[in-house]
Structure 1
Amino acid sequence: MTTVEPAEAGVSIRRATRADLLDVFRIEQAVFEQPWPYSAFEQQVGTPGFLVAEDAHTVESPPPVSGYIVADDIPNHGRPLGHVKDLAVRPERRGEGVGAALLRRGLSALASQGARSVKLEVRESNEPARGLYEKFGFEYLRTLPKYYADGEDAYVLVASLEDRDGF
């Protein structure tokens, strides 16, 4: 059964299903210079942190996927550490709060899995994403030199999931 969260930013958020993969992959290719392969998304289907946002106000059936997040937890000295691996929004839906809605639900999913903190990597040049993450309490930890294939550095950002009053 797929649980759909109430609409926020004009989208409903739910766990991704196999039927969403083509839309997710198309968004990935449109947004990132180094897109994940389709198979990477296939491996994430069914995990609690692979969520999609779909247009809540459309007559299309099924509604189009507006964005997605892939987040999971990894062992870290006996405590799970959340990791936001991928977050993307369809270009024509940017600036509408879709990314914030996805991040909020992804962080909530990580917290419910026992993660006390979360990390992510973001391109140094991706100022809109960095701004979003800062609004959610992420702080700079370190730089990963030449992290991306084109030689650009990545910033590692971290945030605490403890003592948050909801997401």
Structure 2
Amino acid sequence: MIDPVDGASQADEITIRAVERADLLEILRIERASFENPWPYQAFTSALDDPVFLAATATETAKIHGYVIGDIMPNHGRDRGHIKDLAVSPSARRNGIGQTLLWTAIRQLATTGAVTVKLEVRAGNTPAQSLYEAVGFEVSRRVPRYYNDGEDALILVLDLQSS
């Protein structure tokens, strides 16, 4: 059961909007609750300049339940979008928020000129892998010992021209 104060239920309406500087402490709280090696606060202040930095908020309360960060990398005339970070508050997971954030970010990256989108995911993070594969991402390669703790990363790619 999801806590009605801290979590989002499927009945909640979610609004996706651009992140503002005033949101960063709540974003950092979600980051720290989601990852063993969270990004530092400064990384989020820098991300305010990225083409995609979106928050999923409860429409009625404006509480932030998740966020996504993405940018564009030039790639020989075939610009590549990069999903750099995506997290949903633990109490709000499995309600479609991550997928909504991901699709919104992909659309914004496509509008900005991306023809493919890539991301990295921990080899052991099967819930995230399931989300990405449901959206159409495919494993491109495995990078041994990518993360500080020695865990491998999977590089996943979505081809927007064939989607």
Could you state the TM-score of these two structures normalised by the residue count of structure 1?
Answer: 0.88
**Per the alignment, do residues 154 and 135 of structure 1 end up closer, same or farther by CA in structure 2, a change over 3 Å counting?**
same
Post-superposition shift, 1:77? 1.1
Q: 1:25 aligns with which of 18, 23, 28?
A: 28
Post-superposition shift, 1:162? 2.0
Structure 1: 5+ residue stretches without partners: 1-7
Check whether the contact 2:12–2:58 (CA below 8 A) recurs between aligned residues. Answer: no
Structural mapping, 1:27-46, within 5 Å: 27-46=30-49
Structural mapping, 1:40-79, within 5 Å: 40-58=43-61, 63-79=62-78
Q: Give the AA of the match of 1:75.
A: P
Q: CA RMSD in A?
A: 1.4
The match for 1:133 is: 132
Post-superposition shift, 1:80? 1.2
Q: Give the AA of the match of 1:19.
A: A
Between Structure 1 and Structure 2, how many residues are aligned? Answer: 153
Check whether the contact 1:9–1:97 (CA below 8 A) recurs between aligned residues. Answer: no
Structure 2: 5+ residue stretches without partners: 1-10
The match for 1:146 is: 145
The SS at the match of 2:74 is strand
The match for 1:4 is: none
> Where in structure 1 do 4 or more consecutive aligned residues deviate above 6 Å?
none
